[in-house]
Amino acid sequence: MSVYLKRELIKYIKEELDRGVKLSKIQEALLKGGHNRNLIDEVIYDLKKHNFDIVKALREPLRLNPEAEELYFDIVESLVRYIEQQLEQGSTITEVKETLLDFGHAEETINKAIDRVLAAKEKASRRIKLSSVALSAIILFAIMFTFSAITLEPFSLVVIAFFPSILMLAVGAFFRGEKNLLLVMPFLLAIIFFLLGSKVGVIANMEVGPLTFYNLVFSLVIAAVIYDKTKKRKRQLKLRWSKKEQAFTPKLVKL
């Protein structure tokens, strides 16, 4: 796997030199990107040794200890970026793993990179969930407090009156990315609330018709906020990843 990374560095540096980029700038960019300094020095040495003949440079063996800790983490980082890029393009974990195995990467290293990618995605997903649900909860409870203040009704009764909306908030928390479900649930909850209105004592004493309408509207707002914020956050994460890739010379991890 270390040999493969060295070959990719040789190709990348030669391409950049052919484009007119100074060697010092290329080296600086690679170091900022987190690549192993010793490996970069070895690649540059081999290129200079053969007067930047890429064919001859590629024949040079890897002299750096392939088990060096820094180089190992360098490879893992490169694999993480490559896996994330391929997943964004629609590839599956299995497909990406098979490709990396075909290129000679160790399965243990691939699995470590995959674990990091999945952990990062799960963390991002939790942040999306918490932020969208929190915003929806603030909107809902602000409406409920306002309603209680205007009607002079006890807040406990207001909670019962707007229970479908509260339940919608819970549904949205667990199914935030399910567009169809988020659109259907407000109507389903409103219908159930209306049908139970004549049978449940506490609700029967309320104006079930208007409350059903209010709950439907509020539930639709909650669904829209949760789904829209989730989509925006995913787009932001994707854009952030794209910028990160551009800054880190994506050609190095393109297999």
**Nearest-10 crossing angle of helices 179-197, 208-247:** 160
Q: Does residue 244 fall inside a structural domain?
A: no
Q: Does residue 250 fall inside a structural domain?
A: no
What integer pLDDT is reported at residue 148 of this predicted model?
A: 81
Same domain, 100 and 20: yes
Q: Does residue 224 fall inside a structural domain?
A: yes
In 3D space, the residue among 184, 157, 179, 193 whose CA is nearest the CA of residue 230 turns out to be 179
Using one digit for the tens of pLDDT, what is the confidence trace for 32-51?
766 778 888 888 999 999 99
What integer pLDDT is reported at residue 22 of this predicted model?
A: 92
20: left (phi over 0), alpha (psi -120 to 50) or beta: left
- 227 contacts 182 by C-beta, under 8 angstroms: yes
What integer pLDDT is reported at residue 68 of this predicted model?
A: 53
Same domain, 167 and 69: no
Same domain, 166 and 66: no
Q: Does residue 135 fall inside a structural domain?
A: yes
Same domain, 146 and 101: no
What integer pLDDT is reported at residue 20 of this predicted model?
A: 92
Same domain, 96 and 189: no
In 3D space, the residue among 71, 83, 70 whose CA is nearest the CA of residue 112 turns out to be 83
Q: Does residue 187 fall inside a structural domain?
A: yes
Same domain, 22 and 88: yes
Q: Is the pTM value of this prediction over 0.95? A: no
Using one digit for the tens of pLDDT, what is the confidence trace for 229-240?
545 444 444 444
Which among 71, 105, 139 is the end of a domain? 105
Which among 42, 74, 105 is the end of a domain? 105
Domain range enclosing 49: 2-105
Q: Does residue 254 fall inside a structural domain?
A: no
Same domain, 8 and 73: yes
What integer pLDDT is reported at residue 204 of this predicted model?
A: 58
Q: Does residue 162 fall inside a structural domain?
A: yes
Residue 98: both structure tokens together: 């098979």
- 244 contacts 235 by C-beta, under 8 angstroms: no
What integer pLDDT is reported at residue 231 of this predicted model?
A: 52
251 by DSSP, 3-state: which? helix
**HEC letters along the chain:** CHHHHHHHHHHHHHHHHHCCCCHHHHHHHHHHCCCCHHHHHHHHHHHHHCCCCHHHHHCCCCCCCCCCHHHHHHHHHHHHHHHHHHHHCCCCHHHHHHHHHHCCCCHHHHHHHHHHHHHHHHHHHHHHHHHHHHHHHHHHHHHHHHHHHHHCCCHHHHHHHCHHHHHHHHHHHHCCCCHHHHHHHHHHHHHHHHHHHCCCHHHHCCCHHHHHHHHHHHHHHHHHHHHHHHHHHHHHHHHHHHHHHHHCCHHHHCC
What integer pLDDT is reported at residue 214 of this predicted model?
A: 84
Same domain, 180 and 212: yes
Same domain, 179 and 76: no
Positions of the chain with pLDDT under 70: 1-4, 33-34, 64-74, 103-106, 122-132, 176-178, 198-205, 227-255
Same domain, 150 and 189: yes
Same domain, 141 and 182: yes
Same domain, 60 and 134: no
Q: Does residue 119 fall inside a structural domain?
A: no
- 88 contacts 117 by C-beta, under 8 angstroms: no
- How far apart (Å, rounded) are the C-alpha atoms in residues 233 and 33? 25
What's the number of domains the chain is made of?
A: 2
